[in-house]
């Protein structure tokens, strides 16, 4: 007995919600670090003039400053939209990934002992991620807006504001870089499947530690390869000050720069911060990413087994009733 695409997707969404809740403060600090920027230096003729310092220096610094102003609850600002976003993204991804893999398998079922290559696995993962992005992008945009919003607006208020100022297409801001970033889950899940096959052969369900270890390694590879794009996407989607809007007690337009395209953001980062800018926030991104991915794979395999057990019990009870 195997799970349907819907059941696989539900399992992935539930595992994602649990994993992301456990490490949410890291996700918040990662977004805050990645969206703060230096203004481009003005040509004043003074090459030795010091660069303005960024407000936050590290993950610990972000968490300390948030705690000083808002307490522990401040670490969970935007949690609901983040969990909603990650759960829907993973539901959509696993749903389409299962369908894409089944279609591919059916197209090649006439080939004896056919197994997709690593490149094919990566392509199938990227295709599933691209389809998924079209449906879940608005939630990701609003999540980033809420995490970088200093006025504590609700999900509905931010959604209305984005539509009013940028039109309905504003909910898909950063779509191009997101489509390029489809290689991230593609690398992650493709690497996971390949490592699982190499290390454990045809074993269908891995133990929690086995799933966690492979998930951590796969996500690390994907994050290192795509970090500059992740940073540019966060900068595109961040909450910026609107005309006549006051941001609150910590109103500061130092990093209030609006970018229209991810290449603009990348060029600005290179001009002002070089490699440090392209890879800023890499520490919390890696820690958050590998832990979430490791926990997600660990929980998902266990949830898959629970789903199968429940299905068997339901089938057994139906059989007894019919008898």
Q: Residues 6 or more apart from 11 whose CB is under 8 A from it?
A: 3, 94, 300, 303, 304, 307
Residue 11 token pair? 């399992």
250 or 258: which leads in pLDDT? 258
Exposure of 114 by Cβ count < 10 A (0-12 exposed, 13-18 middle, 19+ buried)?
Answer: exposed
Compute the distance between CA of residue 40 and CA of residue 269 in angstroms, rounded to an integer: 9
- Is 43 contained in some domain? no
- Is 44 contained in some domain? no
* The pLDDT of residue 104 is above 60: yes
Instruction: Please report the pLDDT score of residue 195 as a whole number.
Output: 84
- Is 187 contained in some domain? yes
* The pLDDT of residue 49 is above 60: no
- Is 91 contained in some domain? yes
Instruction: Please report the pLDDT score of residue 2 as a whole number.
Output: 67
Whole-model pTM: value is: 0.61
- CA dist list (Å): 262 to 89, 139, 158, 213, 267: 21, 19, 22, 33, 9
Contact present, 181 and 233 (Cβ < 8 Å): yes
Classified as helix, coil or strand, 44 is: coil
Question: Residue 48 — very low, low, confident or very high, per pLDDT cuts 50/70/90?
Answer: low
Please provide the average confidence, as pLDDT, over all residues in the chain: 77
Residues 85-92: what's their mean pLDDT? 82
Contact present, 273 and 196 (Cβ < 8 Å): no
Instruction: Please report the pLDDT score of residue 321 as a whole number.
Output: 63
Instruction: Please report the pLDDT score of residue 162 as a whole number.
Output: 83
Residues 131-151: what's their mean pLDDT? 80
Domain of residue 168 covers: 5-36+52-240+251-322
- Is 233 contained in some domain? yes
- Is 42 contained in some domain? no
Residue 123 token pair? 């392509």
What total of structural domains would you count in the chain?
A: 1
Residues 17-38: what's their mean pLDDT? 80
Residue 140 token pair? 């990701």
Lowest mean pLDDT segment, chosen from 57-71, 90-104, 156-170, 284-298: 284-298
- Is 94 contained in some domain? yes
Instruction: Please report the pLDDT score of residue 50 as a whole number.
Output: 52
Residues 22-33: what's their mean pLDDT? 83
The highest-confidence range among 99-103, 113-117, 121-125, by mean pLDDT, is 99-103
Lowest mean pLDDT segment, chosen from 24-28, 135-139, 271-275: 271-275
* The pLDDT of residue 67 is above 80: yes
- Is 25 contained in some domain? yes
Compute the distance between CA of residue 153 and CA of residue 81 in angstroms, rounded to an integer: 12
Lowest mean pLDDT segment, chosen from 46-50, 166-170, 185-189: 46-50
Residue 30's domain is classified under what CATH number? 1.50.40.10
């Amino acid at each position: 007995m195997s799970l349907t695409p819907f059941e696989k997707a539900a399992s992935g969404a539930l595992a994602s919600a649990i994993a992301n809740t456990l490490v949410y403060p890291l996700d918040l600090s990662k977004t805050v670090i990645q969206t703060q920027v230096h203004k481009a230096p003005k040509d004043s003729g003074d090459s030795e003039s010091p660069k303005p310092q960024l407000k936050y220096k590290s993950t610990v610094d972000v968490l300390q400053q948030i705690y000083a102003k808002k307490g522990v609850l401040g670490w969970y600002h935007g949690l609901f939209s983040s969990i909603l976003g990650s759960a829907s993204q993973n539901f959509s991804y696993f749903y389409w990934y299962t369908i894409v893999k089944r279609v591919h398998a059916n197209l090649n079922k006439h080939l004896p002992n056919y197994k997709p290559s690593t490149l094919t696995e990566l392509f199938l993962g990227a295709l599933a991620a691209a389809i998924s992005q079209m449906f879940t992008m608005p939630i990701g945009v609003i999540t980033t807006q809420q995490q970088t919003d200093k006025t504590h607006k609700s999900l509905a208020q931010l959604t209305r504001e984005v539509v009013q100022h940028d039109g309905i297409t504003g909910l898909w801001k950063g779509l191009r870089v997101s489509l390029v970033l489809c290689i991230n889950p593609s690398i992650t899940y493709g690497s996971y499947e390949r490592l699982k096959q190499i290390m454990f052969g045809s074993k269908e369900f891995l133990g929690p530690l086995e799933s966690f270890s492979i998930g951590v390694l796969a996500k690390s590879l994907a994050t290192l390869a795509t970090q500059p794009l992740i940073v540019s996407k966060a900068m595109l989607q961040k909450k910026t000050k609107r005309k006549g809007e006051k941001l609150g007690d910590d109103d500061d337009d130092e990093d209030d720069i609006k970018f229209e395209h991810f290449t603009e953001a990348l060029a600005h980062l290179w001009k002002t911060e070089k490699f440090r800018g392209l890879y800023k926030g890499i520490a919390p991104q890696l820690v958050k990413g590998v832990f979430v991915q490791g926990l997600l794979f660990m929980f998902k395999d266990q949830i898959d087994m629970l789903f199968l057990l429940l299905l068997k019990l339901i089938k057994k009870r139906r059989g007894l009733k019919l008898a």
